[in-house]
Structures are given as structure tokens and as C-alpha cells.
A and B are shown apart, each in its own frame.
Chain A
């Protein structure tokens, strides 16, 4: 990321130029978010690695949502969902 070329890489239709610094900043923020990369904490993680782990992480989160929806659909099989929800809201928001 040593080149100071701030020309926009995409044909973004007249949008503001994107600098390498801005992207590098966002990449490092992403690095801090992703548990896989969080422990390393060095600047040496490459952008492509961060992107790869980001994609894996998002895929995992999608899968979790799907699995949890499965679990919940079985758990909430009764029509008496309202009282359960009320109890849970109370316990979660306490």
C-alpha cells in the first residue's frame, strides 16, 4: 500500500476518489472485528487474508442464523408463544 495513487479503481461514476489510506484504515478495522484475526494484532495480515476471513466469518454468521431459526422453530412449536416471549423479554432486558 505504498503507492500514493488516489485514482478511483472502480468506474464509480463521478464519485469521490478513493485513497489507499482510507481502504487500509477500513481493512484494519475489519481485522479487529474478526475473531480469527483479532489475536494476531499485527499489521502484517494481508488485505486478501482479511477479506478471506471476513467472507468466512459472514458465511458462518449466516449459517448460525439459519441453524438458530431451525432450533427456534422447533422450540416455539406450540401456539402458546406469547407467554414464553414475555418471560424471555423480561429476562433478557433485565
Chain B
């Protein structure tokens, strides 16, 4: 951490990868929007908003090419709803299901069979009564800190797609990547929103 030129190189490569991510996202998002508008000419504002948001989310997830769990979970969630199926297939191509089968099979089979609920938490509580109580007596400060971390980790699990099925380490890694993707998504959407002139129909 005390190598300035190393840090500079890191920053440059970070910026480059961020830019590439945004370009990738933009291309896929535009494609998704075109698919939506081609399939349904007249859309209410709400339908349009859902289409925009769904295309954006799918575009963001598809830039990952199945290399992360959060993107697989996002796509899996989206395809569980019938309305979305055609868009998912057309945006990701029929080979997206192949990609899913090659990555992390244990988690993947969960995605296939269940609806991965990202907003509703299914808390899995581990009860180890005796040991826990003894530890609590021993150092209450550390255990309070640990409980807080545990609680916050549960919240994080619900925010990251597929988080509930990840172990602590995986969750942290996925969160880092998810945040970078979300940032890219927001940046591009914001530029788009600021750049688009208002059309009078």
C-alpha cells in the first residue's frame, strides 16, 4: 500500500474496466430496449418503466457472462415470471441456460428449482444454546460486535441477488462486484436520462 506508482496503475486499470463495463452495459441495454419496443408498440408509462428497468437489469447481469452468482440469480429471478421470459431469452440468447449449468452447480440447482427471493428473507437460524451462552458471559463486547455483524450480513444477503445462498466470503466478493456493476448501470442510465430531450408525442 506504500507504492504510489502501483496505486496509479490500479486506478487507471480500474477506470478502464469501468468504462468497458459501461459500454458493454449500454450496448446490451439498448438492444433490450429495442426488443421491448419492437414487441409492443403502445405501452403505458408503467409498462415502459418496467421494460426499461428490466432491460437495464438484464443488461447488467449479462455483462458478467455467468461468472458471478448475483448475475445468475438476477437472470433466474427474472425468467421465473412469464411476462419476462421472451425478453430474457432474446437478450441473453438461448445459450444462457448452458452458461448457468457450468457455473457453481450446487448454487445453480437451487436457482433452477426455487424462486430465489431477494426481498423476502428466509432466515436460517442456527441455535447453539449452550456454547453461545457461555461465550456471551466471557466477552460481551465482542459478542455484541459479532451479533451486529451477523445481523448486518443478513441484511446484505437480502440485497444482493442470490445472497441467501452464499457463504460469508462469497457474499463479500459478490457484493464488491455487484456494487461496481450497479454503479456502472446508474452512471449510464443517468447520462442517458440527462441527454435525452423530451419528446412531445
Q: Interface residues, chain A, CB within 8 Å of chain B?
A: 8-13, 15, 18, 22-23, 26-27, 29-30, 33-34, 46-48, 51-52, 54-55, 57-59, 61-62, 64-66, 68-82, 84-85, 88-89, 91-93
Contact = CB atoms under 8 A, between A and B. Distances in A.
Interface of B: 23, 26, 30, 33-34, 37, 41, 45-46, 48-50, 52-53, 56-57, 106, 126, 145, 148-149, 152-153, 155-156, 159-160, 167-169, 172-173, 175-176, 178-180, 182-183, 185-186, 188-193, 195-201
A77 B179 contact: no
Q: Is the interface of B mostly helix, strand, loop or mixed?
A: helix
Nearest to A9: B168
Contact of B199 (A46, A64, A65, A77): A77
Contacts of B169: 18, 22-23, 26
A26 B33 contact: no
**Interface SS of A by simple majority:** helix
Nearest to A16: B169
B199 A48 contact: no
A46 B159 CA distance: 20
